[in-house]
Amino acid sequence: MKKEQKTTKSYIIGYLLSLVSTVIPYYLVASKTVTGTSLLATILGFAVLQMAIQIFFFLHLGRGPKPLYNVVFFLGTASIILVVVGGSIFIMNNLYRNISPSDVTTRLAQDEGLAQVGGVKTGACQEVYANHIVTIKDGKATPFHTDAHLCDTLTFINTDNQQREIAFGPHPQHQVYGGEAEFNIQKGYPKTINLNESGTHLFHDHDAPDTFGEFTVAP
């Protein structure tokens, strides 16, 4: 009888705590009291708390014949969740900070071939003209300098066995060109970009900054 009462009490406490840990994040989101990264961190914290409540009060973690092992496994699982979710948030936040919405719009417009939307130019080319090739061999880009015109294309060909991570601008202050932040090229898999921004632009291998070159796009 006492055991049943103790179990019922555990369920009631667990239910109330679960309800509180659900209502608080909902209120924070609905009222916009907390926003941005702080809101994500708060929701993540309450999610872990709710998981702990469910396990301790409903599954009775730590009350079995081997409570220490169960607690260790729980902490390990919680740590993995924190690393995966926290890492995902960090990556998404980092990508957002390094590429602006306008760059994303330009890239999507170029991929879809949308030169104008409602009479306003998107920065994408309506058609492409000459193709220029840059070959990376033995860690060197040939030619070092390429002269082109707007709406030409530039193809990067990697003949080395080492993968190249091509980025624009000087290292390590990367820039975005035509909606492209950076891309990988492997041997046998060239990459072609549309030259839709005029001016002189640098490119380099992020993993080997000595591999670099430039191209000038005339209007």
**Entry pTM:** 0.50
Residue found under tokens 């070959």: 135
For 167-197, write each residue's pLDDT tens digit.
998 888 888 887 777 888 988 889 888 888 8
Is residue 217 within 8 A of residue 195, CB to CB? The reply is yes
Rounded CA separation 12/21 (Å): 14
For 61-88, write each residue's pLDDT tens digit.
655 555 566 667 777 777 887 788 777 7
Inform me whether the pLDDT recorded for 101 exceeds 70.
no
Is residue 86 within 8 A of residue 93, CB to CB? The reply is no
